[in-house]
Amino acid sequence: MFSGQMVGRRTDTFQAVRIAWSGGQITGIESVGSSEVVEEFPWISPGLIDLQINGCQGLAFNDPGLTGAQVETVSRALAAWGVTCYCPTLTTDSFAVLSHALRTLASAIRESRAVAARVGGVHVEGPYICAEDGPRGAHPRQHVRPPDWDEFCRLQDAAEGHIRILTLSPEYSGADVFISRVADSGVVVAIGHTQADSDQLRAAVDAGARMSTHLGNGAHATLRRHPNYLWDQLAEDGLTASLIVDGHHLPPAVVKTFLRAKTPDRCILVSDVTAMAGLAPGRYETAGLGAVDVLEDGRLVIAGQQQLLAGASLPIGAGIANLVRFTEQGLGTAVAMATSRPAAILGQAAGRLEVGAPADLVQFRLPEPGARGPAGDLQIQATVQGGERVWSASAS
């Protein structure tokens, strides 16, 4: 059993506190410090929860040769970003690749305490998405296919029931029936990589869809003025929008507008990082996209140009820092969008600072005003997962 304590300013109340834990749960929270000292304290929040991580440090969950050891490596690496819970994310691929990855993930969850403690469920993004250029994004066209209930059941069997989120496009005939069956099975259905019309989107929500995956991305470069699938999803109160606020996928004005339209209560932050996340700037070869460049500012682009994004490479903490910079929202709201709100999507008790809650904590400092380093990321000081101090800046 692990026990310990941590001091910092709460991101929700700005109060300086000492949080104690034992046996994986928070056991006490008490106020500390004078007003002069408090300003020097780092921030403290629940551990960050990221519902969309495709890999990092050169390792991808879609790798046909994925191993349990690689899953554990990724799971442990996320502690340096303050992430204590995440969804390994698989993108559109053949049944063979997806089923192998799901079996490997399920085995890792079963056999590794470190993996089991960190994985909140698997996110399968595709293969039931739009086949057109634009909405399809970087997903391989040859593996895009209509929703198939029997195939989904086989994938869930391979995952030993760990698929928790399924992203699809409701543009296909019979998609509403499929969504209803998936939702009734306890899986969160998200809409993404779509060109669905207003009626199809409405039917999807009525059938049980609850989320929009990385709203504003995975879309046509040019849309009709109205109606279109962005306006429809923004207006739909039944959908929580996940947003990639890395400073590259959505311009600041779009982030601000989306937050005002959806309200922070219906938005969460995701990173959508790929295997290139955590690597130094430079050129790398990938299996799916060929050569890609990780730029000094953190952008991941197709090699040789700086406009065409090849995915994301910045952690979810960058989204917190950027949200505060881009909008009128405060730190507490930004942190909630990466803690309590994604926890609610997963149906978890995590993401709270209160006695009895899981002892998943992160201590961090914000970038200096005006900082524009790679990400303008949070400066993580320490990460506690299940009451165990799993990362510390002083020990790195």
Tens-digit pLDDT profile for residues 331-369: 999 999 999 999 999 999 889 999 999 999 999 998 765
CA distance 58 to 129: 26
| 390 three-class SS | strand
Which one-letter amino acid corresponds to residue 221? A
CA distance 276 to 369: 27
315 has a pLDDT exceeding 90: yes
Instruction: Give a yes or no: residue 191 inside a domain.
Output: yes
Contact 364, 82 (CB under 8 A): yes
User: What are the pLDDT digits (tens) for 178-203?
Assistant: 999 999 999 999 999 999 999 999 99
**Bond preceding residue 88 cis, omega within 30 of 0:** no
Instruction: Give a yes or no: residue 297 inside a domain.
Output: yes
Instruction: Give a yes or no: residue 393 inside a domain.
Output: no
What is the band of 31 on the pLDDT scale with cuts at 50, 70, 90? very high
What is the band of 300 on the pLDDT scale with cuts at 50, 70, 90? confident
Instruction: Give a yes or no: residue 83 inside a domain.
Output: yes
**CA 185 to chain centroid:** 22
288 has a pLDDT exceeding 90: no
The mean per-residue pLDDT over the stretch 259-268 comes to 97
Concatenating the DSSP letter of every residue in 44-74 gives EEEPEEEEEE-EETTEETT-TT--HHHHHHH
CA distance 287 to 54: 14
- Whole domain around residue 300: which residue ranges? 47-352
CB-based contacts of 391-394 (< 8 A; 24+ apart in sequence): 391/79, 391/80
Instruction: Give a yes or no: residue 335 inside a domain.
Output: yes
Nearest to 177, CA basis, from 168, 160, 375, 121: 168
H helices of 228-299, in order, are 229-235, 252-262
- Number of structural domains the chain divides into: 1
User: What are the pLDDT digits (tens) for 364-384?
Assistant: 998 765 555 444 478 999 999
CATH number at residue 325: 3.20.20.140
Instruction: Give a yes or no: residue 157 inside a domain.
Output: yes
Instruction: Give a yes or no: residue 15 inside a domain.
Output: no
66 has a pLDDT exceeding 60: yes
Let me know if 57 is exposed, middle or buried by CB neighbors in 10 A (0-12, 13-18, 19+).
middle
Instruction: Give a yes or no: residue 12 inside a domain.
Output: no
